[in-house]
Chain A
Amino acid sequence: MSDRLLGALTRRRTALPLLAVVLCLPPFYLDAFWLRIGLFSMAAAIGAVGLALLSGTAGQLSLGHAFFLAVGAYGYAWFAGEPGPGLPPALAALLAVLLAGAAGGLFSPVAGRVKGIYLGIATLALVFLGHHVLLTADSITGGFNGRSVPPLTLGGFTFGADDGELTVLGVPFGAEERLWYLGLALFAFTWFTARGLLRGRPGRALAALRDSETAAAVMGVDVARHRSAAFVVSSMYAGLAGVLLALAFRRVVPDYFSLALSVDYLAMIVIGGLGSVAGAAAGAVFVTALPLLMTRYADQLPLVTAPGSAEGTVGPTEAARYLYGAAIVLVLLYAPDGLHGLARRARDRVRRRHTRTPGTEPSVPTPPQPAAAARTEEHTP
């Protein structure tokens, strides 16, 4: 019985619409804290998908992802705000994404020629450069204090709180509730486009570049062009993530877009499983939600103290970092293909059992495979 249910759940046709419905429910049941975790996770997932495309599929390391997130976030704040041209926010969001892509394009003489880990070092420069510009270009970025982000409006509807009361099915819709659906829509768009890219001609060419540059070149792949295109596309996803982050934070500050953020994104795609859209999204949720959850439940966790307590104790943020550091080590050791690989193996096992059971051996008691499948997933912290 539960067997058949599991089998049905692992089928794409059933799983996707079901997932979509489930993801639409939280604003009706969860409070703003959880919604904010979800929002940050969705933004991170969009950025992580972009990085997965570059690092996982094309094999190009980038430590400059924070820079392109910053370009998206500040780009939106500037295009839509004051000081700035004060454009309609929807247009500003679009322009911010294009700006991030253009910034990636400017870097393409390097991104097209430099390979793998060397590109990682080259992009390191971008983060420091970006951080410096954010601090010093006061008139545009607001310097150390950053600047506030105007809410997004689309056809008269504001994704923010200052638009008067809105109540849907008895639930008051504030900024978080509204942004949740914007985040979902943007993430769905990212999912759709990234999977299309990966399964289409460009994705195959990029994967071939990663596996063997020589084979790709003699099969007709323009190496430099595809490397820079991968970099531009990844920058655009980062820009989109930056826009959503800016909307969720309602204020952008330079210190957020540091090297540590770039490293967080690398952690997301490693934990999730390199080169897969679903894996990048799962890794993004894990890395984003963990510190927030630990901060919230610090008083109930052993060995973790509330933020700002005496020295010599482990605060929730540090504890979260220890945990996801450990997660990376465990993933690299025991599941090099990340959460995505674990999920796929578990699904395959369920499917095999599912296709084997009907008819062939009606009287033989089936082993408790749902438990087995769950255990594989449990492996990941």
Chain B
Amino acid sequence: MNDRTSAAPPVLDVRDVTVRFAGLTALDGVSFTVTPGSVHALIGPNGAGKSTCFNVLSGLCRPGSGSVTLGGAELTRLAPHRIAALGVARTFQNIVTTHGTVADNLMLGRHALSRAGFAASALRLPGARREQREHLARAREIAGLTGLGAHFDSPVALLSYGDRKRVELARALCLEPRVLLLDEPVAGMNAAERARTVEVVGEIRAELGLSVVLVEHDMGLVMRLADDVTVLDFGRPIAHGTPDEVRRDPEVLRAYLGTDAPREDAA
């Protein structure tokens, strides 16, 4: 249905992004590159700027300086809906679903891929109806993929916390994204739900070949899923590398565990 997935996803490149909120520097010269098809984790203590970074990537927050490019497109000047149309989908740390059923939410994810306007929908033109049918079929497929198949027509408000988190993931997938931004996808889930979500992320990555940027506090999950890790602390990037390299980095240990020693090798 969509040719976006057939080609390899483009490179997502973040260069020297700085964001200031009235005196507070939320992001300070952050740079990293997401290699196509990889899982790139963004970790750091609370308040390190991970969510702000996601807001920059999805266009909700405009950086003071720096650039974000996806393939050849500069994202920092685009409105959120244009970035979505380029194939960047995200989930939120605190669940942001709309009223209505799971199907309604997933069909919202198909918005950028469908065309029916006000007139065509109002007059229920055959083209608009066919489009809706096709997208509904694909949404149902994605619901199945994420383990929501049985809940497809249930109101979101009646679902468990873990399932609602999964609705967000499924909705993002409905965009047929080339880059998927996951903001704490397993926060607040129990062990079984976590395992299921990890499985799903692994599956979609293998099946759809998309790049994933992941913010997560669960280090076990990060170590298992991520190919690259960028560590932020107070808005500054303090380490880059594979999970193993990052785990041994003294700077990272300091940021997470704190230390009494003075910072001789401060960056």
Residue interface bits B72-111, CB-to-A below 8 A is 1, else 0:
0000000111011100011010001111100010011101
Verify if A43 is at the interface (C-beta below 8 Å from B). Answer: no
Closest B-chain residue to A205, C-beta based?
Answer: B111
User: Looking at the complex, which of A60-68, A91-99, A195-203, A311-319 is the stretch in contact with chain B?
Assistant: A195-203
- Assuming the A-B contacts A196-B121, A200-B121, A208-B98, are A221 and B111 also in contact, with contact meaning beta carbons closer than 8 angstroms in the complex? yes
Q: Which residues of B contact A192 (CB under 8 A)?
A: 124
Q: Is the CB of A217 within 8 A of B92?
A: no
Interface-forming stretch among B34-42, B112-120, B206-214, B215-223? B112-120
Measured in the bound complex, the distance between the Cα atoms of B103 and A207 in whole Å is 13
Residue contact A197 to B112, C-beta cutoff 8 Å: no
A212 within 8 A of B: yes
Pairwise interchain contact A233-B109, C-beta atoms closer than 8 A: no
Number of A-B residue pairs having CB atoms within 8 Å of each other in the complex? 103
Q: Which residues of A contact B50 (CB under 8 A)?
A: none
Contact B123 A204 (CB under 8 A): no
Q: A222 and B81: CB pair below 8 A?
A: yes
Q: Is B197 an interface residue (CB 8 A)?
A: no
Q: Is A301 an interface residue (CB 8 A)?
A: no
List of B residues within 8 angstroms of A219 by Cβ: 81, 84, 89, 108-109, 111-112, 171, 175
- Known contacts A205-B108, A217-B81; decide if A197 and B171 are in contact (CB<8 Å): no
Give, as a whole number of angstroms, the nearest-CB distance from A339 to chain B: 19
CB contacts (< 8 Å) of A229 on chain B: these are 118
Q: Number of A residues whose C-beta is below 8 Å from B?
A: 29
Q: How far is the CA of A235 from the CA of B131 in the complex (A)?
A: 27
Determine if A6 is an interface residue (Cβ-Cβ < 8 Å): no
Report how far A218 CA is from B112 CA in the complex, Å. 10
| Contact for A194 among B79, B89, B98, B122, CB less than 8 A | B122
Instruction: Give the chain B neighbours of A217 by CB distance below 8 A.
Output: 59-60, 79-81, 84
Q: Specify the main secondary structure of chain A where it touches its partner.
A: helix
Q: Are A215 and B97 in contact (CB under 8 A)?
A: yes
Does A323 sit at the interface, judged by CB under 8 A? no
Contacts of B104 in A (CB 8 A): 204, 207
* Residue pair A197, B84 in contact (C-beta under 8 Å): no
Q: Which of A175-230 contact B (CB under 8 A)?
A: 192-194, 196-197, 199-205, 207-208, 210-212, 214-223, 229
Q: Tell me the minimal C-beta distance from B14 to chain A in angstroms.
A: 17
Inter-chain contact A218/B90, CB cutoff 8 Å = yes
Measured CB to CB, the nearest residue on chain B to A209 is B98
Interface residues of B in 195-250 (CB under 8 A from A): none
Q: A193-B123, A233-B118 are in contact. Are A220 and B111 (CB under 8 A)?
A: yes
Pick the most buried of A194, A208, A211, A220: most chain B CB atoms within 10 A of its CB: A220
The reply to whether A220 and B84 contact each other, CB–CB distance below 8 Å, is yes
- The answer to whether A218 touches B100, judged by C-beta atoms less than 8 angstroms apart, is no
Q: Which of A197, A202, A216, A219 has most B Cβ within 10 Å?
A: A219
- Residue of chain A at shortest CB distance from B128: A200
Chain B minimum-CB-distance residue to A192:
B124
Contact of B89 among A197, A212, A218 (CB under 8 A): A218
Besides A199-B121, A218-B59, A220-B175, 17 more A-B contacts (Cβ < 8 Å) are A193-B122, A200-B116, A201-B107, A201-B131, A202-B121, A204-B100, A204-B104, A208-B98, A208-B108, A214-B96, A215-B92, A216-B98, A219-B81, A219-B171, A219-B175, A222-B79, A229-B118
Q: List 18 A-B contacts (CB under 8 A).
A: A193-B122, A196-B121, A196-B123, A197-B118, A197-B121, A199-B121, A200-B121, A202-B118, A204-B111, A205-B108, A205-B111, A211-B97, A214-B80, A218-B80, A218-B83, A220-B112, A221-B81, A222-B81
A residues apposed to B, CB below 8 Å: 192-194, 196-197, 199-205, 207-208, 210-212, 214-223, 229, 233
Q: Tell me the B residues contacting A by CB distance below 8 Å.
A: 58-60, 79-81, 83-85, 89-90, 92, 96-100, 104, 107-109, 111-112, 114, 116-118, 120-124, 128, 131-132, 171, 175
A-B complex: 10 closest residue pairs judged by Cβ atoms:
A220-B112, A200-B121, A220-B84, A217-B80, A211-B98, A193-B122, A196-B124, A215-B96, A201-B116, A208-B98
